[in-house]
Amino acid sequence: MTPIKKGTQSGARDRRRRNPAADARWPLVAIVGRPNVGKSTLFNRLTRSRRSIVGDEPGITRDRIYGVVDWGGRNARLVDTGGVLPSDQEFIPAEIFRQAKVAFDEAAAVVMVVDGRTELAAPDLELARLLLRLGKPLILAVNKMDVEALLPQAENYRRLGFKEMVPVSAEHGTGIGDLLDAMFAVLPVDDFAPEDDEEEPAPAEKGGIEEPLPEEEEEIPSIPAKAPDEVNVAIIGRPNVGKSTLLNALTGKARAIVSPIAGTTRDAVDELVEREGQKFRFIDTAGIRRKGKTHEMAEKLSVLMARKHLEAADVSLLVVDATAGVLAADATIGGYAHESGRSMVIVVNKWDLVTTKRTDGKPPADRKVFEEQLRYALKFLSYVPVIFVSAAEGQNIEQVFATVVRVAAERQKRVGTGQMNRFLERVDFERAPVPMSRRMRILYMTQAGVAPPTFVLFTDRDVKLHFSYERFLENQIREAFGFEGSPIRFKIRARKPRSQR
């Protein structure tokens, strides 16, 4: 068995980040098997990532998780599926099987994973019969073959009828090279070779903070707001507020499993959508709840992954359940997005249930009153637009796309230094509710970065910016220049005393 050749796959992950649409042209390999045989561990090993949540509990993976593998100069996409039990009629296992069948249909080849340390089980036989009827190239990966003494046990799985069988240990990386050789041997030749490494983008393109121009230098002209070529959108919120239903409505297909059971989504599910030349990558994350409310290991990991995917997004959709109102947990999750610098849109879901479909005898909800209550509960998100939708009924979904484009563009907006200084001359800072001991004089101001918009204030005193002063200045900037949906950051640079110049 050949150990994995480290260093040959990392480049594919970098290339995918630069050109995410390119991987759609590469052949797809589906990884399938019954629960708890190590599919997600194998997926993470092949993609050299931690994209899928891994644990000892069976049934952790439920939706389809996609990744990219690079081997011998060739590329392929991988899809990790939930544990398949074809004969199980319960809702969640049945939905997992439905999602897996979609992967079967999309795939150019299928890798079935079995646990080599256990006896051949009835679900293995049933799944093997199903796969053999597909007429697609099949590879059997006998997993958990950690030591050579276990290799003879792998021969027992010849009974499944697969021509190609590879003993592997996904956890330790043994046999992975043989598995990759077998996979790419049956895949169609990829006509799209990996692209040459592109030059590193300038700090402004990456959203980093640049060194501000000195006061006397030439003014930077304003750059009009324009959405990036691909907008990463994280769908966040409490459990059971309709995040997966919203993803399905936005993508126009049953991309994620939807059920009334809180915590159905565990892995982050992403899907690329193109509308009128604009690409959106929507990421459905697991419901975020407080640490004290999460008990299962898989649930804790899913919340951690949701936070990580939020921090990698451009825009976040904070989904609020209209039937429950705005809760403290909604404010906490909104705070995560605000602190991470993500732009945000608040999506009030299930609006149809509190207007035309009320069953509790109460009068229909009023949109203006609800928004006032929401704004009061989420005062720190006053800059965030609010949309009322029904994801289940597909109502007002088009407005979500339009608002995301607008907010993503505002996030990239840049204001020239001259404009900022003329703005400062107009602002009456005497109105700012700041104690005299904390007041400062802003000599001039420049925008040093985008995504989120970041401003550097050159001041006469080395004093920390008072929160009232910051809030006042932020409100004045928004009134003058917009920046809808995006948090604003400030940095202070005090003028050096004469003795130190």
Q: Could you tell me the residue ranges of all domains in the chain? A: 10-186, 230-411, 417-500
Does residue 372 have a pLDDT over 70? yes
Question: 1, 175 in Cβ contact below 8 A?
Answer: yes
What are 433-486's pLDDT values in tens digits? 766 666 778 888 999 999 999 999 998 877 777 788 888 899 999 999 999 999
Q: Please give the backbone phi and psi of residue 493, each rounded to the nearest 5 degrees, phi first.
A: -130, 110
Place of tokens 């019954």: 34
More reliable by pLDDT, 186 or 254: 186
Task: Give the pLDDT score at 106.
Answer: 87
What are 120-145's pLDDT values in tens digits? 888 888 888 888 988 999 999 999 99
What fold, for 417-500?
Answer: GMP Synthetase; Chain A, domain 3 (3.30.300)
CB proximity list for 324: less than 8 A, separation 6 or greater: 241
In this prediction, residue 81 has a pLDDT band, given cuts at 50, 70 and 90, of confident
Mean pLDDT of the chain: 78
Before 452, cis peptide (omega within 30)? yes
What is the identity of the amino acid at 377? A
Task: Give the pLDDT score at 222.
Answer: 44
- Rounded Cα distance, 450 and 12, in Å: 28
Does residue 292 have a pLDDT over 60? no
In this prediction, residue 246 has a pLDDT band, given cuts at 50, 70 and 90, of very high
The DSSP letter of residue 198 is: P
Q: In sequence order, what DSSP letters do the residues of 99-132 get, joined into one string?
A: HHHHHHHH-SEEEEEEETTS---HHHHHHHHHHH
In this prediction, residue 496 has a pLDDT band, given cuts at 50, 70 and 90, of low
Taken in order 419, 425, 430, 431, the sign of the CA dihedral is negative
Task: Give the pLDDT score at 469.
Answer: 82
Q: Taking residues 27-37, what's their average pLDDT? A: 89
- Rounded Cα distance, 311 and 337, in Å: 8
Does residue 69 have a pLDDT over 50? yes
Task: Give the pLDDT score at 362.
Answer: 77
Does residue 219 have a pLDDT over 50? no
The CATH architecture of the domain made up of 10-186 is 3-Layer(aba) Sandwich (3.40)
Helices (H) and strands (E) in the chain, counts: 13, 15
Question: 139, 109 in Cβ contact below 8 A?
Answer: yes
The DSSP letter of residue 261 is: S
Task: For residue 135, count CB atoms less than 10 angstroms from its CB and return exposed for 0-12, middle for 13-18, buried for 19 or more.
Answer: exposed
N- to C-terminal Cα separation, the chain = 67
Q: In sequence order, what DSSP letters do the residues of 131-176 get, joined into one string?
A: HHTT-S-EEEEEE---SGGGHHHHGGGGGG--SEEEE-BTTTTBTH
Angle made by CA atoms 226, 410, 198, in degrees to the nearest 5? 50
- Rounded Cα distance, 145 and 171, in Å: 10
In this prediction, residue 353 has a pLDDT band, given cuts at 50, 70 and 90, of very high
Same fold, 10-186 and 230-411: yes
Q: Taking residues 406-418, what's their average pLDDT? A: 93
Output the CATH code of domain 230-411: 3.40.50.300
More reliable by pLDDT, 5 or 65: 65
What are 157-214's pLDDT values in tens digits? 999 999 999 999 999 999 999 999 999 999 987 554 444 444 444 444 444 444 444 4
